[in-house]
Structures are given as C-alpha cells and as structure tokens.
Amino acid sequence: MAESDDLRDDSSFPLGAVSKGFRGRIVEVGRLADADATDPDAFSEELERRLLEIGFVEGAVVEILHEGFWGRDPIAIRVDDMSVALRRREANAVWVRADASSSVSR
C-alpha cells in the first residue's frame, strides 16, 4: 500500500461527495469529512472497521456504479471485485482520489 503513504493531499475527497461514473482509489478509511465532524452518529471506530471488513481498504479501486433516485442516495460502489451499497453519510468516511490509470480505461 505504497500509495497510502502520501495521503491527505488536496486531491483526495470523501467518497460520499462524488458522482456516478467516478473511478478512483481509496487513500484513507476512517477520517471524517469536516461537515460531519459534529454529527456523533457519522463516525466511529465501529464504522471504520465495518467499512474495512466489507472491503473498503486503502488501495482498493472504487467506482460509483449507481445512485439512488431520491437525493442520489444511497450509492452503489464497485470495490475491487464486488459491489456494495452505502449511504453517502457512511461513504464520507472513505477518502478517495481520482485514479489516472483507471480513468483512461473508462
């Protein structure tokens, strides 16, 4: 996971903020988006571990496949070999960066 060493630069953003068609890589799991920092439900180590356990791990390739009809929420995400549905609020704990190499193949 060499990529995850130089995290937290300006080009990463929470997965909950991206739109359908986005492709990228996870750079960090468990950091809270500033907007949710005051929301006690939004983040916990519990959520971090649950996200990790279902495959949201640093370095994984993600792609937003679908968005819900109402408020474009929840979102369906391709994570490596599987698809997972998440609400955007939970997705905000996953930080991603657009991936140049995977964008080319789109």
Partner 1 sequence: MSSWPSDAFRFALVGNPNCGKTALFNTLTGKRQKVANYPGVTVESKRGRLTTPSGRKMVAVDLPGTYSLRGRSPDEAVTRRAITGEMADEPMPDLIVCVVDATNLRLSLRLALELKATGVPVMIALNMIDIAKARGITIDVEGLARELDLDVIPTIAVEKSGTEALVTAIDHVAQSAHPRSTPHWHEQSAEEVRAAHQFVNELVNRHVQTPVHSDRWTRRIDNVLLHPVWGILVLLLVLFFIFQAVFSWSQPAMDAIKYGFDSLGDTVKTTLPEGMLSSLLADGIIAGVGSVIVFLPQILVLFFFIILLEDFGYMARAAFLMDRIIGGVGLHGRSFIPLLSSFACAIPGIMATRVIDNRRQRLATIMVAPLMTCSARIPVYTLIIGAFVPETNIFGIINLQGLVMFGLYAVGIVSAFLVAWVFRVFVWNGKSEPFIMELPSYKRPSLQSVAMNVLQRAFVFLRRAGTTILSMMVLIWFLASVPGAPEGATDPAINYSFAGMIGHFLQPVLAPIGFNWQIAVALIPGMAAREVAVGALATVYALGSDEGALSTVISAHWSLATALSLLAWYVFAPQCASTLSVVKRETNSWTWPVAMFVYLIGLAYAAAFLVHGVTEAFAS
Binding interface with partner 1 (CB under 8 A)? 1, 30, 41, 45-55, 57-59, 65-71, 73-74, 76, 80-87, 89-90, 105
Residue among 92, 13, 95, 30 nearest 60 (CA): 95
CB-nearer residue toward partner 1: 25 or 89: 89
Q: How far apart, in Å, are the Cα atoms of 10 and each of 14, 29, 35, 37, 52?
A: 11, 16, 16, 19, 23
CB-nearer residue toward partner 1: 2 or 9: 2
The CB-of-25 to partner 1 minimum distance in angstroms stands at: 13
